[in-house]
Structure 1
């Protein structure tokens, strides 16, 4: 499980009225980096921004930045042509990435790319997975508890795409590989591990539908389909992320769908924007409450330019729009991904101008959310001790009512590293313990859920 909680930020709560969008700390236009599209960004355990993209010359590259936007190091995939479309930071600080590429100029076609990098940016290995006569592309990758990886994407032959899902070991050797499709132009766009299985968001075209529609498919760890959900969904699926305490959020066109673990819709909400045209590229969870989406809109402030504007918007866990902002600049600009920062605020990555320069913007922590006088919380963590510390951590909390209670612990990349169900607990003061044995030092998030209530706290593990 990943990306559920990226990092601990300011306490945030939903508000019926739109809150003020966060201000900008700084923005940078890297004129030395031209990108076809910065496909993904993640935050490392050390607080570094890791970005994967394709350069304008078909060179797949991963770059590490500090939180002031300074480039720390970069590494390219040493192939004839390549592109990186998704990456994840691993528990050892390394990076796994997927995309597409041609290892040599003599390669017959583009293959699905899977490559692994060390924590200091060294390329450890890069492998191509090729279906003869097809153009193959990886769109998302998921680290697995056994050290291996799950990858999804598509294989295209004569203009027709089939979704492609595969599982590998820690060295990228294939354990199994499956293709799936209805009529044509099918693809698998997001993949997650949970409860000893894989949830895959797919785009599929049915005989009676005019275009692709979302399919949520559950695979066993052996590659067998356990169930499929699509009847309730409409539109073109963009991305999916995990939600707290369970389930998923799916971005379909300009709509956010909140799904339960079996794919049923809990709520749906259109993303607001000015202008007649806007498009979202990604959705990510926000600690404590809701989701953030990134993309562009075409809001105009006369006599402003007739170009796309970078866009961020936030939706609460109950489906309320909390805020959104559109950045109009002298030329076109887009946001393609966003991460939440440990000290609050966000970092968004995208493209700027006709030359597609790498664009990086840091946003302030949010204000105007939850500033009204609030009632006492129904669930509150009083302390985690020792903190900082090592070994067993005691968590003490108070609940105002009874409820089914669960303790979940995440690392800074959002991966679940501990979970304990406690059943139905009465109102009052409670305590539980969590063993950090076998975990590296760093920042971890302890999250309690009791019924529909939740609370979280940061725990620092020492050497």
Structure 2
């Protein structure tokens, strides 16, 4: 195996602010050597919004906690921290005990404005004040005209408990609500996960709608004023969906991710995650399912300049049965390039829920790690890797869970100079990528033994992906000198 190359600034750290628990929800590049993160912190009497600033080596530089007694104050999701001009904003929600009904709660959407240091508050504003509704904020974005969008799910818990609709709130940077919209079908449960602003200022709301006994991916496209909704539902027989997310592509159209649960099999844990591409009309161009013998979820992703996709989530370990965090990368056609798994507590619980690019070309991901099954001593968890997902100084990157590849594979010489030979089964598709995901070679091997020229290739490490006719694949590394 060959060590992966990448940036020097790598770390994997836990952060704690109390004896209760913490979760890092979203991360941004504050400058070339500093990161700003938001999340929540459980104190003795409340949960509060927690802001952290960390250095390029993971050192905690400063932090703030904004807590209210008996209040759950959460960041919305992986995209809940944004920057507009010189200030930062957090889209969030709270949860209060209902003074009129014992053991009942109501939740309201909030926006917090922070100073240019990303830590001190300018103001905190509740956008809606209606104790007859329960808001679950899920996504927070900035529009092209520097307004703020907060989206999620809302219900009337005392009228239709458990039946949610999508909501979308547009506010200015002073926290004034410009308008609020709700979208839904009567007596059906719809949960919004993400809001996305397209290049033409139209807005996409993505999530799930309960239909025919299953949750299905559901997208609503509206104009910049939240009007003229267009609906799109996706159906896969015998599959229930969760974690559905859609983001715009630099080359037009969208990427779509999520995970499914086959209702034909025992258990209700997610089994298969998928990555797909949609055209500008929201029609599926392709969709790749990453089948794994271990339960896998995808929670966040971003697009690289060359169209490749980096994503993160968690998967259950085959030995311990506990979730481990992972970061993976696929090319613009959904082919898996590499996969890295991480944990702090091998016998416990490790989650990654946000992934972002860094100024040095690397990757930062954050979430939470537990050291007991009860959730005690839960800590915020942040990983900074190079471009190949390596969080250690010496690291070997590989594609995990490659589909069974029946043929014996030989790549020689390796390292190679001006050419190399590949021996494998006939009819195998070979694709060679740079570490950044750019394709430099693709050919179907019909002889079982192929000589491939590396003329014009830059010196360095390449990923050689082999795919059989039957669908099995494997990825090997090749060093070109």
Could you tell me the TM-score, scaled by structure 2's length?
A: 0.66
SS in 1 for 2:106: coil
1:79 aligns with 2:96: no
Which residue of structure 1 lines up, in the alignment, with residue 231 of structure 2? 228
CA distance in 1, matches of 2:86, 2:303: 21
Which residue of structure 2 lines up, in the alignment, with residue 239 of structure 1? 245
CA distance in 2, matches of 1:22, 1:345: 8
Q: Are residues 373 and 189 of structure 1, via their aligned partners in 2, closer, same or farther at CA, if it must alter by over 3 Å?
A: closer
| Correspondence for 1:114 among 105, 111, 115 | 111
CA distance in 2, matches of 1:375, 1:109: 55
Deviations 1:90-144 (A, max 9, x none): 2424222112115899696221122221221221222222333222121111112
CA distance in 2, matches of 1:73, 1:133: 38
Which residue of structure 2 lines up, in the alignment, with residue 365 of structure 1? 387
| Correspondence for 2:190 among 182, 186, 190 | 186
CA distance in 2, matches of 1:351, 1:78: 19
1:346 aligns with 2:349: no
CA distance in 2, matches of 1:237, 1:306: 21
Deviations 1:171-217 (A, max 9, x none): 121111111222333122111222122111132223xx212212221
Q: Structure 1 residue runs of 4+, over 6 Å off?
A: 19-24, 103-108, 371-374
CA distance in 2, matches of 1:154, 1:105: 19
Return 5+ residue gaps in structure 2 as ranges: 260-272, 389-396, 399-432, 442-481
SS in 2 for 1:131: coil
SS in 2 for 1:192: strand
CA distance in 1, matches of 2:162, 2:22: 22
CA distance in 2, matches of 1:260, 1:69: 39
Contact 2:29 2:359 in 1 (8 A): no
Deviations 1:132-159 (A, max 9, x none): 3222121111112333211101113222
Contact 1:316 1:322 in 2 (8 A): yes
Say how many residue pairs are matched: 353
Which residue of structure 1 lines up, in the alignment, with residue 322 of structure 2? 307
Between the two structures, name the one with larger relative contact order (CA 8 Å, sep ≥ 6): 1
Contact 2:24 2:382 in 1 (8 A): no
Contact 1:142 1:151 in 2 (8 A): yes
| Correspondence for 1:177 among 149, 174, 180 | 180
Q: Are residues 49 and 184 of structure 1, via their aligned partners in 2, closer, same or farther at CA, if it must alter by over 3 Å?
A: farther
CA distance in 1, matches of 2:234, 2:324: 34
Which residue of structure 2 lines up, in the alignment, with residue 146 of structure 1? 145
Which residue of structure 2 lines up, in the alignment, with residue 64 of structure 1? 53
Which residue of structure 1 lines up, in the alignment, with residue 132 of structure 2? 133
Aligned alpha-carbon RMSD (Å): 3.1
CA distance in 2, matches of 1:347, 1:375: 27
Q: How is 1:29-48 mapped onto 2 (pairs within 5 angstroms)?
A: 29-32=14-17, 35=21, 37-48=23-34
1:259 aligns with 2:256: no
Which residue of structure 2 lines up, in the alignment, with residue 388 of structure 1? none
Which residue of structure 1 lines up, in the alignment, with residue 294 of structure 2? 276
| Correspondence for 2:204 among 199, 202, 207 | 199
Q: Which moved more, 1:366-375 or 1:36-45?
A: 366-375
SS in 1 for 2:189: coil
SS in 2 for 1:335: strand
CA distance in 2, matches of 1:214, 1:106: 36
Return 5+ residue gaps in structure 1 as ranges: 1-18, 377-463
Contact 2:246 2:256 in 1 (8 A): yes
CA distance in 2, matches of 1:104, 1:95: 29
CA distance in 2, matches of 1:21, 1:333: 26
Cα drift, residue 231 of structure 1: 4.1
CA distance in 2, matches of 1:282, 1:48: 21
Cα drift, residue 241 of structure 1: 2.3
CA distance in 2, matches of 1:269, 1:20: 26
Cα drift, residue 45 of structure 1: 4.5
Q: Are residues 95 and 54 of structure 1, via their aligned partners in 2, closer, same or farther at CA, if it must alter by over 3 Å?
A: same
CA distance in 2, matches of 1:78, 1:306: 34
Cα drift, residue 286 of structure 1: 2.4
Q: Are residues 103 and 73 of structure 1, via their aligned partners in 2, closer, same or farther at CA, if it must alter by over 3 Å?
A: farther
Cα drift, residue 265 of structure 1: 1.0
SS in 2 for 1:77: strand
Q: Are residues 114 and 211 of structure 1, via their aligned partners in 2, closer, same or farther at CA, if it must alter by over 3 Å?
A: farther
Which residue of structure 2 lines up, in the alignment, with residue 317 of structure 1? 332
Could you tell me the TM-score, scaled by structure 1's length?
A: 0.69
